[in-house]
Chains A and B, each alone.
Chain A
Amino acid sequence: MSVVTNTTTIGAIDAPSRRNTELALVAFAVLISVFAYANVGLALNGELPAGMLGYGLGLALLGGVAHLAVRRFAPYADPLLLPLATLLNGLGLAFIWRLDQSERFQALETFAPAASKQLIFSAVGVALMVGVLIALKDHRILQRYTYISMMVALILLILPMFFPAVNGAKIWINIPGVGTIQPGEFAKIVIAVFFAGYLMVKRDALALASRRFMGIYLPRGRDLGPILMVWAFSILILVFETDLGSSLLFFGMFVVMLYVATERTSWIVFGLLMSGAGAVGVASFEPHVQDRVTAWLDPFAGWGKIPASEQMAKSLMAFGSGGTLGTGLGQGNSDLIGFAANSDFILATVGEELGLAGMMGVLLVYGLIVERGVRTALAARDPFGKLLAIGLSGSFAIQVFVVAGGVMGLIPLTGMTMPFLAQGGSSVIANWALVGILIRISDTARRPAPAPAPSPDAEMTQVVRP
């Protein structure tokens, strides 16, 4: 009796792809969002809103198309990323639509309904994600564009300096006919690509060539160069664009990726020291930043005097009034925050109308996205993929922390947007692209290893019975 056995340890049996799980979860996410609409409509007007069907179908279509694209082009992708993003995007649409109904907003001269626009932006975002899945067969292709990415990122970050400041921060560029876009949101992704490519090449030099001093590894002076450059760069953004959020985001992302690449704790120490020094230094002479720090330290002291303080105080009161269970969708007064209630401060509406329970839910959804991203990085088999995935999910986590922490008064307010939830085209489009890249990396990571090439030895090794 002769038996042919496979002696390799990796099996060629298909890993479960979990695509059906993903479909069910996407459907669930869409359903929750549709219920949210119904809830708002019933609370405000006592009837189901007329737009509910439109938004519901639109969202279902987006989720469906995205799912089909994943099924077709990234069949082994992480099954949670898409449903979680769909849920946040759907809830965001419901909240924006709810704020559109606010009589206080409608009384403002600058009022324009934002929900329908946001749906279109979401569609563009999903399209971009599908585009990423189709065009990017393998994320490692992006390595080739390391230095081009650097150039693109620089341009994206410098551009807003040539446009007038909006509400005290120069983070917008205005393209006639298209509207304003926030290049920073896209720069986030492009910079992650650059860092991943750069660090993959330089990691050994950064990690190993260091001297031990007082128990920690001090990097060599010349290796400090890049980190100093990024530090200087984020300070420059802070100074010229008065954008505390973006500089924190880029610098944080760089430190995270550097740490992962070099496995040296000393980089984190340096990173924290330098970001602290930079922030304190800039805060000491930049009035825009000073205002926000004052508003953070005692929001109620500036009531009636400093608009930033008053806005902060109103945000805190919105959270407070939500209490444990919230007032119910459509029944809060978070629109009292006024300007930016549907963008930077949309989380206050979540806090007021869904309460502590809803806030914890939403924060955990963000947490899940981040942790699925980190899981993807862990599973990725190539250093570039690992670095890119951790860079993207790390920046996502930092952004969530900085924005949510800002509106909740945990840290000074910085003026970025809650990914997916907040009204804003650039943000939702860029974040869908980010999710697209993560899905691509996770697909590569979870894809079963190709069946081993038939071993030439297999035929030769035979049990020869005497």
Chain B
Amino acid sequence: MNKPLRRIAMFCGLLILALLVRTNYLQYVRADELNANEHNRRVEIERYAHERGNIIVDGEPITGSVETTDGDFKYKRVWKDGPMWAPVTGYSSQAFDSSQLENLEDGILTGNSDQLFFDRTLSMFTGEKKTGGNIVTTLDGAAQKAAFEGLGDKKGAVAALDPQTGAILALASTPSYDPSVFAGNSFKDSDARQKLLKDEDKPMLNRALRETYPPGSTFKVVTAAAALENGLYTDIDADTESPLPWQLPQSTNLLQNEGDIPCENASLREALRWSCNTVFGKMSDDLGNDKMIEQADKFGFNKEVFTPVRADASIYPKDNRPQNAMAGIGQASNRATPLQMAMVASAIANDGKLMQPYMVAQRQAPNLDVIYTHEKEQLSEPLSGENAQKLQQMMETVVKDGTGKNAQIDGVTVGGKTGTAQHGLNNSEKPYAWFISYAKTDSGSPVAVAVVVEDGNANRDDISGGGLAAPIAKSVMKAVLDGKK
């Protein structure tokens, strides 16, 4: 009986061997795949087991981590001045994932990024507690505060840039939300999020980057840039051939101006000062759709912008003649994000050079070693320096004695353009108030800003770029200028 016994012994050995092979296969070969499985809750648990790194503004963190006692997750994200910073940081929730910077820079913030590999390996040996790295932003706390408080309880958005570098200085959107209310994993968090999602005012919408508005008259600076660049006009003080009234091409409709303003054959400077629809409508028609698109594209239209947070593409579309004429004054199917209009203002302020907008200045390892520094980068050159300076003169006239007087700052050169964009079927809804501007000092322009206010509650007659939006732009520019002193 011993021969079959030996065979059975071998058989039993094979059974154990099969198990050994299987456990090697599972725990060695397939370990990474299993650990990365979407259903593996350990990933989430590990993710919240350490303090998340911070997002930093002016050297101070605007985020933090608190320890929680219930559930699997040890740490929860909190924000300082959540509603004010939400359009910059986005949210990071245990239950509902994350967005914007919190999402894009997750690797650094959790400390899991490959960029931190060396750092991590080192702390494995030193036994340091694992923490995340930091994201240093370009934002200016005072400017952000001015923008957020300027918007107040009105619906709208502000985007401010440093024209010389492309650094984003302010990015506000109202009404806003506090990401802290649903950072956790409880039913309370879920309810709070549902409430935000159902809110008709869409507080979670980042209006500065993700909402496109008809830019209204602020777009006239782009039309003027196209006219100068294409040689349609060269002298900003020479008369243009602009009849009043002006009939839209292929149409019986007459293009109207707002009020009784001196627009017949007005020079570029005067036309921008008074915001003449007839002059710029005809200019856009004279240039044609292709040239208008080309100029808009140079300013960044028709393309998403990554700051690194994605901003929706602003649209200057292919269109027929009457529509193209309307788009030239910022109406019809022309749409722009506040960031886009801030880019337009900053390109003009920076003598024609458009810098790539960005908001991450540095990434820091948990031990504060800098592992990435943003190098400023030119995106395009929408207009020549000479033409840019002509446009600057025009915009400065608008603020000095035109529709943008509300943006004047004592002792500082300010250029700007107002806009009142109609929208809704047959302009049935209340228009959006726009203002784009820049301030200039001896060492060039430190700030360009775009403000849009979509205030459904204001009396229609009160809505104008100069009245509603310009004071906000002024306070943002002032905050930046004060910070430079």
Contacts and interface: CB of A to CB of B under 8 A. Distances in A.
Given A303-B39, A355-B27, A370-B16, A320 B34 contact: yes
Contacts of B3: 263
Contact of A260 (B1, B13, B18, B23): B1
Interface residues of B, number: 36
Interface in A249-292: 256, 259-261, 263
B42 A401 contact: no
Contact of A319 (B15, B32, B34): B34
Contacts of A324: 27-28, 31
A393 B12 CA distance: 9
A323 B16 contact: no
Contacts of A300: 37, 39
B41 interface: yes
A371 B4 CA distance: 14
B35 interface: yes
Contacts of B16: 363-364, 366-367, 370, 397, 400-401
Interface string A383-408: 10010001001100110110011001
B9 A408 contact: no
Contact of B34 (A256, A321, A397): A321
A374 B4 contact: no
Nearest to B36: A320
B27 A319 contact: yes
Contact of B19 (A336, A386, A390, A410): A410
Contacts of A410: 18-19, 22
A420 B28 CA distance: 26
Given A359-B27, A378-B2, A313 B41 contact: no
- Residue of B4, B7, B18 most packed against chain A (CB within 10 A): B4
B4 A320 contact: no
Given A319-B27, A333-B45, A374 B19 contact: no
A336 B15 contact: no
A394 B42 contact: no
B346 to A, nearest CB: 49
A56 interface: no
Contact of A401 (B1, B15, B24, B32): B15
B26 interface: yes
Contacts of A69: none
B443 interface: no
Interface in A336-366: 336, 351, 355-356, 359-360, 363-364, 366
A377 interface: yes
A313 B8 CA distance: 33
Nearest to A404: B19
A139 to B, nearest CB: 16
A359 B32 CA distance: 18
Contacts of A190: none
Contacts of B6: 378
Contacts of A401: 15-16, 18-19
A208 to B, nearest CB: 14
Contacts of A359: 23, 27
A377 to B, nearest CB: 5
Contact of A356 (B18, B27, B32, B41): B27
Interface in A102-131: 104
B22 A377 contact: no
B392 to A, nearest CB: 61
Contact of A321 (B1, B15, B22, B40): B40
A68 interface: no
B425 interface: no
B261 interface: no
Contacts of A416: none
A317 interface: yes
A23 interface: no
A364 B1 CA distance: 26
B9 to A, nearest CB: 4
A259 to B, nearest CB: 5
Contact of A371 (B9, B18, B27, B32): B9
Contact of A386 (B5, B33, B45): B5
Contacts of A351: 23, 26-27
B15 A397 contact: yes
Interface in B28-87: 28, 30-35, 37, 39-42, 45, 72
A323 B15 contact: no
Contacts of B12: 367, 370-371, 374, 393-394, 397
B319 to A, nearest CB: 48
Contact of A394 (B8, B23, B30): B8
A313 B39 contact: yes
A316 interface: yes
A370 B19 CA distance: 14
A100 B27 CA distance: 25
B13 A321 contact: no
B26 A409 contact: yes
A263 B6 CA distance: 11
Interface string B420-462: 0000000000000000000000000000000000000000000
Contacts of B28: 323-324, 356
A97 B28 CA distance: 27
B433 to A, nearest CB: 49
Contacts of A370: 12, 16
B1 A263 contact: yes
A79 interface: no
Contacts of B13: 367, 371
B124 interface: no
Contacts of A260: 1, 4-5, 8
B232 interface: no
B238 interface: no
B20 interface: yes
Contacts of B22: 405, 408-410
A219 interface: no
Nearest to B2: A378
A320 B27 contact: yes
A443 to B, nearest CB: 19
B26 A386 contact: no
Given A397-B16, A400-B15, A408 B23 contact: yes
A322 interface: yes
A121 B174 CA distance: 66
**What 3 A-B pairs are tightest by C-beta distance, nearest first?**
A320-B34, A367-B16, A356-B27
6 contacts: A259-B8, A317-B35, A375-B9, A394-B8, A400-B16, A401-B19
